[in-house]
Structure 1
Amino acid sequence: MTKMPDRASNSSSRRTLPFLNSFAAIRHHPRWMWGLLTIAGLFCLYLLAGFFLVPDLVRSQATRWVRTNLDKQISLGEIHFNPLTFTLDVNDMAIVGDGAPMVGAGHLRVSFSPLSLLTSTYRFGELRLDRPIVRAVVRPDRTINLVELVPRTHSEEPAPAIRIDDLAVDQGHIFYADESQPGHPQAVLAPVTFTLKDFRTKSDKGGVFTLAAQSRDGEQFNWRGNLSIAPIASQGRLTITTLKADTIQRFMGALLPVTLTGGQIGLQADYDFTYGAAGMQLNLSLPDLTLTGISIDGKDMLHGTVALDRLNAVVGPVTLRSDKGGIAELKGSMPRLAVAGFSVTPRGLLPAEGIRLQGVTMTGAGIDYRARTVALGNLTLNGADIFVRRARNGALSLTGMLPAKSTATAAHPASREGSATAAPADARPAAWKIALNNFVLSEGTVRLDDRAATPEAKITVSAISATANGASSNLTQPVSVHIDAKMNGGAHIVADGTVTPASKAGDLKFSLSGLPLTTFVGYMPAMPKLELRSGTASASGQVHFEGGDLAKLRFRGNAAIDRFSLLETSTNSPLFAWRSFSLAAIDYRNKRVTIGQAKLMQPLARVAVLPDRSFNFTALMAPKSQAAATAVPLQASAPGPGAAAPAPKTSAKASAPATASFLLNMRRLDISGGTMGFADYSIEPNFQARIEALRGHISNITNRPGQAAAINLSGHVIDRYSPVTIKGRIDPFAYGQLTDMQLSFRNIDLPVFNPYSGRYAGYAIAKGKLTTELSYKIDHRALEADQHIVVDQLEWGQATDSKDRVPLPVRLASALLKDRHGVIDLKLPVRGSLDDPTFSIWPIVWQVVGNIIEKAVTAPFQLIGALFEGADKAQFIDFAPGAASLPPGSADALGALAKALADRPVLKLDVPSGPGTAEDANAIADGRIDQILMADEIKSGKKADVASLDADERHDRLENLYSNRLGKDPEFPEFSPDALKATPGATPDMDEGDRRTLLESQWMREQLRPLFKPTEAQMAALGTARAAAIRDALLADGTVDPARVFLTTATGAAATDGHSRVALKFE
């Protein structure tokens, strides 16, 4: 039984039969048909090979080439080739290195024009990379891994020309790591997009490209332009936004001298770059360059931090052209640069303690390499604030920011200079020329905190406005400058002129006003007991200077110090003060200064004796040396009134005044409203006096040798009724060579001196006026001084209980010195030499005054005798013993004394009227004895003189008287030979018998005297009679008031040289 074919077999048979039929039919077709069939078959084979063989071939060739030339492994995903479009697609390709992909892509598409094989240029219609990755790593040895992708072998044949119609990179990923840097910084750019249109390697027509990339930190990079290879050229725009300073620091920090700690950068650059056989040329402009929030740590370059809020700049056009010889041309401009918020802070200080700028603007800057010029255009600084602190050791805070000099630089400066100078002169390039057209500083501030000053000084120079025009690297050219500033909110300075930097010379016109002197107390010499309370300085004029050469310094203008006050801290009272001290028409040059006119308004000087008896002005004086402080006592006694002090011998070789190294000439000084006060706080109650309304002028004040200043000043003491005048000529810088001064003080009320009179005189002054005229002449150190002192109507008041009063009867002294008009008139001439170390005028004057007072008290009659001739002889009236009649000559002396009393109406005179002396009693007894002895002669009217009797007769009469009165004969004592030799009244020719007779007579008289002596009443009557005789002689002419002559029994006569002396006494 035959098996029937199934349905599938029948179907197959039906499909095969037509084919066989067709083939059979073809065999009968023409030969061209066979050609078509062959082509179709080859095309099919091409398609089969393209679709199925090419991918494997690409994989194998790529793997082998990478392995052979790169020694790497390449991984390839699916590979597709379209032979119809000649397009190759490769997925997930990557070249692996160090265990990670170095480069790779998620998808690669290459579209090639096979017809370009018939031309000299290979043409790619499309070249596209999707999701490419690049992993670039800088190894610790500073080699980069991507170098390993460079083929080991290179073809010697020239590379074919290539044309790419469209190249695109999409969603790219670039990973970069630098393991050679500390911290192994990393960065990722993703996504990265790149397009390139119509790129040709053998054409000067450039392909248009775009590049866009972004980092993980949001940093964006955009690049647009065109690119050509033959020649190498590119034009386009590069835009970078929000580039982090930290990114630059992480990857380039080791190369930078500073550390970037914050901020971001943005820029936009337009360029045109060409590189060919002729060299390289770049045209560049940056329409926008922006730095925002930049912060920098100085690291080793700067010991501090820098902060920049914002910087905007417009740069370009810039042209750079080079050839084989190097830079052929570099020319560029920067139309504008603007900085906002710039600060530099030294390490360890607060942000406010450094340098700050609110803004910086520069316009019109440029550079020309060929001309070697740099133009800085116009530079403006706004709101500059500089803080400087000076430590106690003198170190400045800003200098602490500077790095220390390297050892090599400091140790070998000569080697660098030597190498520089070794180059031949013609090999040195021309010097660069730098020019700054205009510099402007506005609202500047400089703050100084000086802790090295005592007390610490704080100086602020604010509102600084400064301009400079024409500054350049040619330092020999003058620069026009202008400065306007304030100091500590009050002082104002303005200066205009020119300065030449090379010579440090300049001419400036300036004005300074309201400068407070208290600001500079810390720089003045220490004055612990004084305080500079106020004072402002001002000046204006023109100054010319040439570096530090003082000989070429010149100033012409005016200056003033106003409202000056220097106080004593102990009393809080001014020591020196004035309202205004101005100098006009000042001309200083070459160590010479001429002042046309000076005005001193309301000056105040105050001299005070402090409670410790020191002077207030000693706080201004340097301590004297031991030698200068040792005073030489004045040995010579001062002369009496009317006499001149002895002139010490002057040095025969008195040195002439040396010529001053600095010459001063002030033509006139006007003084108005002056006050000079004196106070004594060492006495109770305190004493105060003032010379007020001091006015006048002093002309020709100079330190030229031999020149004298003319002085004409006036004022008043205490009140306007006590005028003071000071006139004359004096060399103020060598007064010892030339002085001729007259001073007068008139009508000064003496009660103002009660604090002194009560303490030292023991009495207050109730009334009196003082007038003095002083004259001082010094000619080559020889002094002639005359002091004329007049005290009018001095009256003493109540006595004080001062323990310091002088032990002298001051009332008597003043009475002795007063004339009949109540005036004490003293003239005190002093002569001497200033070369005598023991000579000092005022100690001598006061010693003369003291001597006058002392002599007035201790020797009043000597003082009166100097004024009234012979009156001094009336001090002692010598009566004969037992007599009451005036001795010869005493009447004239008493008459002269009467004239003195008449001229000294305050004086009173005491005349002793006490009982007579024992000598007076003996004389009276002897007189009575003599009357009895000479009774016969008296009766007969003969001469009754006992002395006329011879010795024996006298002896006999005494012996009779002795026997009659005593009732016995005398019993003479035995006289020794020595007694006989010393017999009183004996003459040399007397023998022993005569001497014995004389001694016996004397003995008998002594025995008889008690019987004949006067009574006490008789002795009192004798004293009264003598006093009356003196009084009558004084009052004889009636010029003396009898009430001023007092007879006093408190004292009497005194035996003196065989007389009874009555000593008169003033009261």
Structure 2
Amino acid sequence: MPSRSSGSVICQVILTCIVFALRDFRRWDVPQSVTSLREPGAVAQDNRTQPKRKWPRWVGLALALLILIYSAFGFLVVPWWLERQLPEQAQRHLGWQTQTRDISANPFTLSVTVTGFSATDSAGEVVARAEKFHLNVSFLQLFLAQIGIDEFLLDEPYLRLEIGPEGNLNILADWRNNSPQAADAGQSKGGDSGSGENGPGESSEGSSGAFPLVIENAQITAGKILLRDRRGETTQEFQISPIAFDLSGVATFENSGDAGRYYLSATLGDDQKLIWQGDISLMPFRSSGDFELQNLAADALWHFVGRDTPYDWRQGRIDYKSNYQFSDTEQLQLDDGELSIRNSEVFISATSNDQPALQVDQLEAQGLSFDLSRMRLQVGSISAADWSLLLRRAEDGTLNWAADAEDDGSEGDESDSGSDNDETSFSWQVEQVALESGVLNWRDRALSEPAEIQLDQIELELTDLTGDPDSPVGIALQVTGSDKGTGQLNGEFTLSPFTLESSVQLSDVSLANYQAYLNEAVNLELAAGTLDFDGTVSLDDQKPKLTGSIEGTLSADAVQTQLVELESPFLSWTSLRLNPLRVQLEPLTVDIPEIRWTGPEFTYVRLPDGKNSVSRVTADDEEGETASAETETAGADGDGNDTVGFALRIQRLGLESAAIVIDDRSIEGGFQTRIHNLSGELLALGNQKPQRAEVRLEGDVAEQGSLVLEGTIGALGQNDTSVLDLVGDNIAIPPLTPYVARYLGYKVESGRLALDLDYTIVGDQLDGSNDVVLHDFRLGENVDSPQAVDAPVQLGLALLRDRSGTISVELPVNGSLSDPSFNFSEVILSTFSGLVARAATAPFSLLGNLVNIGGSDEDLGNTGFAPGSAELPAKENEELQALTEALNERPAISLQFRGVSAPDWDGPALVLAERGVSLPAEGLGPLIDKLESLLVELEGESALESQVRARDTDAGPRRSSPEWAQTLLRQLVGEESPEPGALRQLAEDRAAAIERALVDNGIDPGRLSREAVRTSGEVEQGRVMVPLEPGSR
């Protein structure tokens, strides 16, 4: 407790004076009888001095009377008046009901004491309370024209503050509701409060005439504040208790004494404390000291400072301490600040009960300083450990941290529009930010299949952060994925304009984690694979374009992909290395000196619906994509450069141990084969004309086959020309049985295939020829197939097979590679089956081509005889010689024939032969000439003229009419007929003549087969035709 006040001293002085005055007054009133007993000299003396001593009695009496009145007023009137005025004023201005247990005043110590004070509002709830209020004013300070407070004590005060639903404070609301005139007056005075002419350095005495105030000692003990916030759906209550405040040695005027001291302590809840202490001087105003917050609950702080944000800081404890200096000239300075936040959890919205968006176990900030006059904030270091951040992208593409903040962005822009006009702009600097042991959870729901990616053990260090957006910031980032893949970034960046210069290292990054993003473009599943990158990244935002470059070694290892809907492998490889990868962003250029691709394996699946697996890789709308691709292709100009969005250059692409697996499920029984050990290189591959890549690849087909691909590839993605030559050898044919069975109706028993395919590809249009050679090709048992050719397949193959047992054919092929229904193998086999069918149905045309004899299939397939004759005409003999040569080229072909005769032609001709007349075999015209001349010779000109007249005038020219020849024969022989058996014998002789001629020309008799003669042969152009039928041996 402080020392005795000046009022107490004055009170003692006054009481002493009263005692002495009363003592003298009693002595002055001694009775006369007493004085008469004294000696005469003494009496005389008393009589002489008595008149001179009467005035002190009256002075003392007056003083005593004044003191009694003053005491009565101070001890009785003042408490009585306060007891009446306090309730009246509280009711008038606030609408409160007040009560006091006791009010006492001491006029000699100039003190007032109130005990048991309480005030209730209109709802009957206590709004303010104090166990004791004591005020002691200094008496001596009044003689110095000052108000001196020797002692101010407020014990156990209680105050209830309520914030209403509209943000109004209960005390202010009670004031406005109960004294509107005072509120209006206060507002008008407040509006004129800044019109004074005094500068900030002038004293308060000169500016306002306020009475100087000196506070020697002021104390608040065991205080309590109940803060109730009714904003929001639920009412929140905050209790601050106990509150202790101590203030001493403070004056409102300049003095030569030391600055005053103050101490403030407040506790919120259980262990949340505020400690504020230091020195303070009011004239001039300045203060310095320490400020400390201990264990402050983050939700209590955030309830007031963050309620208008979409973020909810629900958990966390805050410690903060700092030195400060404050004055009316130097304004505010904070130094040596330290901030600590523990066990912090931040949610995106107050209604969210999901995982917190931000968790920080420990955050420390050291070296905090702030200078208000310079508007400058400096932070030595910020460190955080064991933190996690949740980033979400919603279905509409908005981020969880930015969705609600963007809604208020326009207001923020407007409010800050005048900041450029401030005399001093705000600046800040953070020397270092170190984040350790962090976790980032990324959840993307904007995809068709939500993605979840977690990055662990994030270590981030930023250096030299400032409010200057073009100041470089150092960055060092290290990340470990949930798959144990790691990433590192070291360099520096600026925010505006955005620039980045850094080295980047990625190691063992699992590609499967990014499956959901791959699904947006293709229907592939990344079953396995890792990504590695070691290089540099340089970016520079030259609005509106981002420039820069990326350069480094990129590799993807152990990659396995499969088609989602088919559950079938699609593409996999052991290693893919780009050494190096160079990307220039503006203009976009990709330059790769070398690509080494080891162990790639591509599985081509032909689906039952006829489409292929490649068409299933892209989006579901295949027709739309195909149309789009055709539009882009058609839109290219003559050079094709205008439609290519970037330049691609690959100097060398090397393949090692590549494989292609063909799996055809569209055919009954299925077909699988494998092209493997495929190695080689592509040189100068790109997408810019006139760049043309050279390609050479070698590999194996199935178990024993081989394959070589050579040629040139035009600019990728353009209507450029590619020329390729594919040579295959020793390819087993039996595995092709499903195709052969479909188109030929037979299984394959044996055979080997050799190919020489020459292709020209312009854009996506394929045009080429296929030289196909089948060695030892033999068919097995018959197979029912509705698509098989309706022709003697064995005969057709025999006709195609040369003397060495080899079938060599040239098959053209063309089509659009972008058409999902285009099947290369089906086109080849369909063409081949058509060739076999044509050979089987027109065998002699093929045989004639072997010996360079043109004409129709009938030229070699029939041997013509003159009517009634078995002698081979010279022309027919020549054709049999050519047929023999052709058959010798096709040793698998046998020949069947039978002798024939035509009774209508051969009968009359045999009768004429018996007369010694032979008919020509050169054709119908020479035959008719012979018959007409013979008729004129035997019967005269009139007989011929008679027949001519009898002939139908619409029958056409005589010389080309078989009916006219028949008429002449009947006229010449009349009713005569040949000997019985003559027609059969003629047929036999004709067959023998054909056989003899073939054997004489060198054909093996074992390949000839004579069948029974027939006497119902056909006649063409006046010749009796003996048909020849090839067969397979």
Percent identity of equivalent pairs: 19
Contact 1:678 1:690 in 2 (8 A): yes
Shift of 1:544: 0.8
Q: Structure 1, residues 841-874: CA drift from partner, whole Å, max 9, x if none?
A: 9999778656643431232212112111459754
Name the residue aligned to 1:883: 869
Cα separation, 2, equivalents of 1:606 and 1:1000 = 75
**Alpha-carbon offset, residue 792 of structure 1:** 0.8
- 1:1021 is aligned to 2:971: no
Pairs within 5 Å for 1:144-293? 159-160=143-144, 167=151, 169=153, 172-176=155-159, 211-215=220-224, 219-224=241-246, 226-229=248-251, 231=254, 234-236=259-261, 238-244=263-269, 265-276=272-283, 279-286=284-291, 289-292=294-297
Structure 2 contact 71–107 (Cα < 8 Å) conserved: no
Alignment of 1:648-663 (within 5 A): 655-658=638-641, 660-663=644-647
Matches within 5 A, 1:456-495: 456-495=450-489
Gap change, CA 1:784 and 1:308, over 3 Å in 2:
closer
Amino acid at match of 1:340: R
The answer to whether the 8 Å contact 2:789/2:837 transfers is no
After superposition, the Cα gap between the structure-2 partners of 1:780 and 1:718, relative to the gap in structure 1 and judged at 3 Å, is: closer
Relative to structure 1, the CA distance from residue 600 to residue 1059 in structure 2 (aligned partners, 3 Å threshold; closer, same or farther) is same
TM-score normalised by length of structure 1: 0.72
The aligned residue for residue 1046 of structure 1 is: 1009
Preserved CA contact (<8 Å) 1:225 1:234: no
Describe the shift of the 1:481–1:918 C-alpha distance in structure 2 as closer, same or farther (beyond 3 A): same
Kindly provide the amino acid, as one letter, of the partner of residue 1026 in structure 2: V
* Alignment pair present for 1:613 and 2:610: yes
In the alignment, structure 1 residue 358 sits paired with structure 2 residue 361? yes
Counterpart of 1:383 (choices 370, 379, 386) is 386
User: What are the superposed Cα offsets for residues 627-657 of structure 1, whole Å, 9 maximum, x if unpaired?
Assistant: 96999xxxxxxxxxxxxxxxxxxx9x99333
Counterpart Cα distance in 1 of 2:523 and 2:816: 36
**Aligned residues of 2:146 and 2:214 also touching (Cα < 8 A):** no
For 2:308 and 2:911, locate their aligned partners in 1 and report how far apart those are by CA, in whole Å: 127
Q: What per-residue deviation string (whole Å, max 9, x for no partner) do you get for residues 254-276 of structure 1?
A: xxxxxxxxx86412223111222
Partner of 2:622: 623
Q: Judge which range, 700-709 or 397-406, deviates more.
A: 397-406
Per the TM alignment, residue 840 of structure 1 is displaced from its structure 2 partner at its CA by: 13
Find the residue that maps to 1:908 and give its secondary structure. strand
Q: Which amino acid aligns with 2:611?
A: S
**CA contact under 8 A between 1:287 and 1:315: conserved in structure 2?**
yes
d(CA) in 2 for partners of 1:980 and 1:224?
153
Give the letter for the 1:314 counterpart: K
SS in 2 for 1:1008: coil
The corresponding residue for 2:178 is: none
- Contact kept, 8 Å, 1:135 with 1:176, in 2: the verdict is no
Match of 2:786 among 780, 789, 803: 803
- Change over 3 Å in CA distance of 1:666–1:39 after alignment to 2: farther
How many Å apart are 1:377 and its aligned residue? 1.7
- The separation in 2 between residues aligned to 1:882 and 1:241, in whole angstroms, is 143
Q: CA deviation at 1:1006?
A: 4.2
Structure 2: distance between partners of 1:774 and 1:542: 45
1:105 and 1:876, CA in 2 relative to 1: closer, same or farther beyond 3 A? same
TM-superposed CA distance for 1:1005, in Å, is 4.7
Find the counterpart in structure 2 of residue 336 from structure 1.
Answer: 338
Once the two structures are TM-superposed, the CA of residue 722 in structure 1 deviates from its matched residue by 0.5
TM-score by length of 2: 0.74
Aligned to 1:923: 909
Alignment of 1:833-872 (within 5 A): 849=832, 852-870=835-853
Counterpart residue type for residue 622 of structure 2 = P
The alpha-carbon deviation at position 41 of structure 1 amounts to 12
**How much has 1:530 moved relative to structure 2?**
4.9
1:492 CA displacement:
2.5
2:725 is equivalent to residue 742 of structure 1:
yes
Q: Which runs of 5+ in 1 are unaligned?
A: 1-17, 76-94, 113-126, 187-200, 245-262, 632-650, 933-945, 957-971, 989-997
Write the distance in 1 (CA, Å) between the matches of 2:105 and 2:880: 156
Alignment of 1:64-75 (within 5 A): 72=84
CA-to-aligned-CA distance 1:524-577 (integer Å, 9 cap, x gap): 465796544444433331111112655622111122333333323443111233
Displacement after TM superposition at 1:810 (Å):
1.3
**Distance of aligned partners of 1:307 and 1:808 in 2 relative to their CA distance in 1, 3 Å threshold:** same
CA 612–999 in structure 1, closer or farther in 2 if over 3 Å, else same: closer
Larger Rg: 1
CA contact (8 A) 2:382 2:434 kept: yes
The corresponding residue for 1:937 is: none
Equivalent pair of 1:877/1:1062 in contact (CA under 8 Å):
yes
Deviates more, 1:771-780 or 1:442-451: 771-780
CA contact (8 A) 1:592 1:662 kept: yes
- CA pair 23-757 structure 1, distance change in 2 beyond 3 A: same
Matched residue type, 1:307: R
Structure 2 partner of 1:708: 692
1:513 aligns with 2:513: no
Look up the equivalent residue of 2:282 and give its one-letter code. Y
Q: Does 1:718 align with 2:724?
A: no
The 1-side partners of 2:629 and 2:310 are apart by: 58
Tell me which residue corresponds to 1:1009.
Answer: 976
Amino acid at match of 1:978: R
The alignment partner of 1:301 has SS state of coil
Residues 353 and 388 of structure 1 are in contact (CA less than 8 Å); yes or no, is this contact kept in structure 2? no
Determine which of 663, 666, 677 is the counterpart of 1:682: 666
Q: CA deviation at 1:163?
A: 11
Aligned twin of 1:119: none
Task: State the alpha-carbon separation in 2 of the partners of residues 986 and 221 from structure 1.
Answer: 140
Corresponding residue number in structure 2 for 1:978: 949
1:908 aligns with 2:894: yes
CA shift, 1:108, in A, is: 5.8
Identify the residue that residue 435 of structure 2 maps to in structure 1.
Answer: 441
Counterpart of 2:876, as a letter, is S
Which residue is 2:228 aligned to? none
Partner of 2:198: none
Residues 377 and 427 in structure 2, CA contact (< 8 A), matched pair in contact too: yes
Q: Distance in 2 between matches of 1:815 and 1:553?
A: 68
Contact 1:694 1:716 in 2 (8 A): yes
Number of the residue aligned with 1:1056 = 1020
For the Cα contact (< 8 Å) 1:137–1:178, is it kept in 2?
no
Report the residue type matching 2:286 in the other structure.
Q
Q: Which residues in structure 2 correspond to 1:928-939 (within 5 Å)? A: 928-929=914-915
Instruction: Report matched runs for 1:752-791 at 5 Å.
Output: 752-776=735-759, 785-791=768-774
Residue in 2 that maps onto 1:571: 566
Could you say which residue in structure 1 is the equivalent of 2:202? none
Task: Give the CA RMSD over aligned residues.
Answer: 5.2
In 2, the alpha carbon distance for the partners of 1:916 and 1:470 equals 115
The SS at the match of 1:1049 is: strand
> Does the aligned pair in 2 maintain the 1:134–1:174 contact within 8 Å?
no
Q: Which of residues 649, 664, 671 is equivalent to 2:648?
A: 664
**Alpha-carbon distance in structure 2 between the residues aligned to 1:985 and 1:485:** 101
Deviation at 1:223, TM superposition (A): 3.8
Matched, 1:538 2:532: yes
Structure 1, residues 1003-1037: CA drift from partner, whole Å, max 9, x if none? 67544323xx2324x43332222222212222225
Alpha carbons 2:590, 2:647 under 8 Å: kept:
yes
Q: How far apart are residue 902 of structure 1 and its match?
A: 1.9
The Cα offsets for residues 49-70 of structure 1, whole Å up to 9 and x where unpaired, read as 99998566423356667899x8
Aligned 1:411-430 pairs, distance under 5 A: 413=414, 417=417, 428-430=422-424
**Cα displacement string for residues 370-397 of structure 1 (whole angstroms, at most 9, x for unaligned residues):** 4443212211233333334333233443
Name the CA shift for 1:137/1:471 in 2 (closer, same or farther; >3 Å): farther
Is 1:319 aligned to residue 325 of structure 2?
yes
Deviation at 1:227, TM superposition (A): 1.3
| CA distance in structure 1 between the aligned counterparts of 2:609 and 2:957, rounded to whole angstroms | 72
Question: What's the secondary structure of 1:398's corresponding residue?
Answer: coil
Amino acid at match of 2:792: P
d(CA) in 1 for partners of 2:951, 2:989: 40
Tell me, yes or no, if the aligned pair for 1:288 and 1:315 is still in contact at 8 Å: no
